[in-house]
Structure 1
Amino acid sequence: MAKVAVPLDAELVVEVMVLTGVGNPRDAVELVVRDYIARGHRTEARTAARDEVLRDADGTPRDVQG
């Protein structure tokens, strides 16, 4: 995998290290990025499932009583 160097504010990196409990700045930032991506994938999966249910519900004709 290709590596990218990104300069970050030292206070931001220290905060990430404290929150993740990781002593290596590179590993701490990587954990946060991987978690962010995984969370996005979970959200997409839930949204897709809900959209599918709504799509199925809209496709069925409704009985009109009157």
Structure 2
Amino acid sequence: MAQITVTLDANLAIDAMLLSGTKNPQEAVELVLRDYLARGRRTETRTGDAADGRRVSTDRRNVQEG
């Protein structure tokens, strides 16, 4: 896997380490980012996306109230 170098503020790296429970800032940032991406995928799976034709229907019934 290719690796890149990213410069972060020390306070941000420390916050990521505290959130992830690691002692290595590189591992902490990687874990937080992986969790963020996984959470986004779970949300898309639950709600669908804009191209999901099943959740948008043009023939809605008009319900009369009262």
Work out whether the TM-score is over 0.5: yes
What whole-Å deviation, never above 9, does each CA across 1:12-38 have from its counterpart, x for those lacking one?
A: 001111111100110000000000000
Structure 1 outlier segments of 4+, above 4 Å = 59-62
Where in structure 2 are the equivalents of 1:18-37 lying within 5 Å? 18-37=18-37
Q: Please list every run of 5 or more consecutive structure 2 residues that lacks an aligned counterpart in the other structure.
A: none
Structure 1 residues 39 and 61, CA gap change in structure 2 (3 angstroms) = closer
Q: Whole-Å Cα distance in 1 between the matches of residues 41 and 10 of structure 2?
A: 29
The amino acid that maps onto 1:24 is N
Q: How many residues are aligned here? A: 61
Q: What TM-score does the superposition give when structure 1 sets the normalisation length?
A: 0.73
Which residues in structure 2 correspond to 1:7-22 (within 5 Å)?
7-22=7-22
Q: In 1, distance between residues paired with 2:5 and 2:25?
A: 12
Percent identical across equivalent pairs? 53
Unaligned runs of 5+ in 1: none
The CA deviation at 1:11 is 0.6
Secondary structure of the structure 2 residue equivalent to 1:7: coil
